[in-house]
Amino acid sequence: MSGTGGLFVRGFQDRIARTRRIFARATAWPFGVRLVVFAAAMIAQGFAYPPQAMLGPPVLLIAGLGVLPALWPRSTWVTVFWLITVTGWIAATMLYDSQVTLPRLIGLSVALYVVHSGSALAAVLPYDAVVDRVVILRWLMRATLVIIVSVGLSVGGLYVVSSWPAKYYLAATILGLLPVIGVVWLIAFVARRRP
């Protein structure tokens, strides 16, 4: 029994020593990208959950959930974070009658995209990588461009659709899915043609 306990204690000590080495060797840019992912995760949850969830004991759970994509960007924890946050948004709007507003929806979408994009960048940056700031600037510019175009198209589409009668919503939804299906088909076609 003491042998198993000793192995457990030694394994725990090894993990603590590894964590200390990571923090001692960490460079600014990879650590900064992970901080951005954590901040975006917390902002996304702030937009997703009802306001009363952001006060009291649930804050510790929310902060723990926000750490997951920042610490393990190359794992399924990013997907787990996404699923829980989106489920929280649906529960907040359907069960808690939380107000759905355009700024709140845009804020949630932008924050989730930054978590996704930042996790992808963090996944390829070791903690001790020496990164030229041009790499980070290109990532920021690309992410900003995607956000601006997406928000512009979404708000423009919402403005156009808001003047339509309700009976056209189904047709608009189906027409909106056609470009998505086309892009997926194009990606699959190009992927198959590569040697």
CA 47 to CA 13: how far, in whole Å? 38
Is it the case that residue 194 has pLDDT exceeding 80? no
Rounded to 5°, angle at Cα 149 from 148 and 154? 100
- The reply to whether 80 falls in a domain is yes
Query: What residue numbers bound the domain in which 33 lies?
Result: 2-132
- The reply to whether 109 falls in a domain is yes
Long-range CB contacts for residues 16-24, cutoff 8 Å, separation at least 24: 22/127, 22/128
DSSP code at position 73: T
Threshold 0.85, pTM exceeds? no
- Whether residue 39 contacts residue 124, with contact meaning beta carbons closer than 8 Å, is answered with no
CA 138 to CA 192: how far, in whole Å? 29
- Report the percent of the chain where pLDDT is more than 90: 22
Average pLDDT over residues 15-37: 78
- The reply to whether 194 falls in a domain is no
Average pLDDT over residues 51-57: 73
Domain count, the chain: 1
- The reply to whether 6 falls in a domain is yes
Average pLDDT over residues 112-140: 87
DSSP code at position 78: H
Higher-confidence residue: 163 or 195?
Answer: 163
pLDDT tens per residue, range 151-170: 888 788 777 767 777 777 67
- The reply to whether 7 falls in a domain is yes
pLDDT tens per residue, range 95-117: 777 777 888 888 999 999 999 99
The predicted structure's pLDDT at residue 26: 66
Longest dimension (CA), the chain: 73
